[in-house]
Structure 1
Amino acid sequence: MYVIREKFFSIGDDFDVLDEHGTKLYRVDGKVFSVRDKVVIEDPSGEEVASVHRHLVALRPTYEIKIGGETAAEVRKKLFTPFRDKFTIDVPGPDDLEMKGNLLDHEYVIELGGEEVAAVSKRWLTIRDTYAVQISAGVEPLLIIGSVLALDLALEREEKKKEEKEKKNED
């Protein structure tokens, strides 16, 4: 079990990733690009171990996850999914994953071939922007953590666009 928790009183969106005992495993630096096009995941010594960045030119929200400098996956929103959002986690080779569930409330599962390999929940957590992430054995934790962060970036971006549109309509 992992906990991804936003740091309070930080400038930008910084997160800590903790294990079930509260030990800090990673720090997520969201200040790399002020427009939130990239976040960097660092180990406790400050070394970059992974990153998530948004593709600027894409038909739909697309985020690339790099682990150890190598492309590990692209997270893409599916275009036509009535009633709920779905994201594909496209990994090199045939074993793509899919995120589905109530993504806006951050209650969803990540599946591989129809089998659940991770579950993400904010339901039992009272702190804003804190996620509990349960990951099955044999699944790369940084891939799942990167996917959760990509989804968070995509949903935050959609929310900002919606707010800007509403603001324009008021004027």
Structure 2
Amino acid sequence: MYVIREKFFSIGDDFDVLDEHGSKVLHVDGKVFSARDKVVIEDLTGAEVASVHRQLVAMRPTYEIRIGGEKAAEVRKNLFTPFRDKFTIDVPGPDDLTMKGDLLDHEYVIERDGRDVATVSKRWLTVRDTYAVQVAEGENALLIIAGVLALDLALTREEKKHKDE
């Protein structure tokens, strides 16, 4: 299980991703905001292991995940999902992931072919403004965490856009 602070993009500072024991496992550089909504994920030595950035030319909110400098996935909002937002983590090949549930409230699952590969929830934690990401064994935790961060970027951007209207 990993713990991420909610609303980190509105604060705009760096933060750490913790494991279930409270130990730091990743560092997210939240100071690299630009027009492309980019964040950098670093390991404990400060080396970049992944990044997430918004693609500027896209019909719908789309974020690219790069792991080890290589494009690993795109996270995009599904256009026609009645009643609920739904996002896809489009990975090369046939193993796409779907994020569905209450995305705004951090209560959702990430599925592949109808099987849960991760669960995101605030209910497991007593610490305010944090949520947990439980990743199934054998799954790429870095990809899942980057996907969750991409979703947060997209939702924060959408929320800001509605406030500005």
TM-score over 0.5 (shorter chain): yes
Residue 113 of structure 2: aligned partner: 113
Question: What are structure 1's unaligned runs of at least 5 residues?
Answer: 166-171
Q: Matches of 1:85 and 1:7 in 2, distance apart?
A: 18
| Shift >3 Å, 4+ stretches | none
Residue 138 of structure 2: aligned partner: 138
Residue 74 of structure 2: aligned partner: 74
Compute the displacement of 1:36 (Å).
6.1
Superposed counterparts of 1:1-171, under 5 Å? 1-5=1-5, 12-35=12-35, 37-125=37-125, 126-128=127-129, 130-165=130-165
Question: What are structure 2's unaligned runs of at least 5 residues?
Answer: none
The residue type equivalent to 2:149 in the other structure is L
Deviation track 1:41-61 (CA, whole Å, cap 9, x = no partner) reads: 001111000000000110000
State the secondary structure of the residue aligned to 2:137. Answer: coil
Q: Matches of 1:146 and 1:118 in 2, distance apart?
A: 12
State the secondary structure of the residue aligned to 2:118. Answer: strand
Which structure's relative contact order is higher, taking Cα pairs within 8 Å and 6+ residues apart?
2
Higher alpha-carbon Rg: 1
Q: Matches of 2:11 and 2:58 in 1, distance apart?
A: 28
Q: Matches of 2:12 and 2:58 in 1, distance apart?
A: 25
Deviation track 1:12-68 (CA, whole Å, cap 9, x = no partner) reads: 242211111111000101111244610000011110000000001100000011111
What RMSD, in angstroms, separates the aligned Cα atoms of the two structures?
A: 1.8
| Contact 1:7–1:13 (Cα < 8 Å) also in 2 | no
Aligned residues: 163
Closer, same or farther in 2 for the Cα pair 1:15/1:36, shift >3 Å? Answer: farther
Q: What is the percent sequence identity of the aligned residues?
A: 78
Compute the displacement of 1:153 (Å).
0.3
The residue type equivalent to 2:4 in the other structure is I
Closer, same or farther in 2 for the Cα pair 1:13/1:77, shift >3 Å? Answer: farther
The residue type equivalent to 1:89 in the other structure is I
| Contact 1:6–1:15 (Cα < 8 Å) also in 2 | no
TM-score norm. by structure 1 comes to 0.89
TM-score norm. by structure 2 comes to 0.93
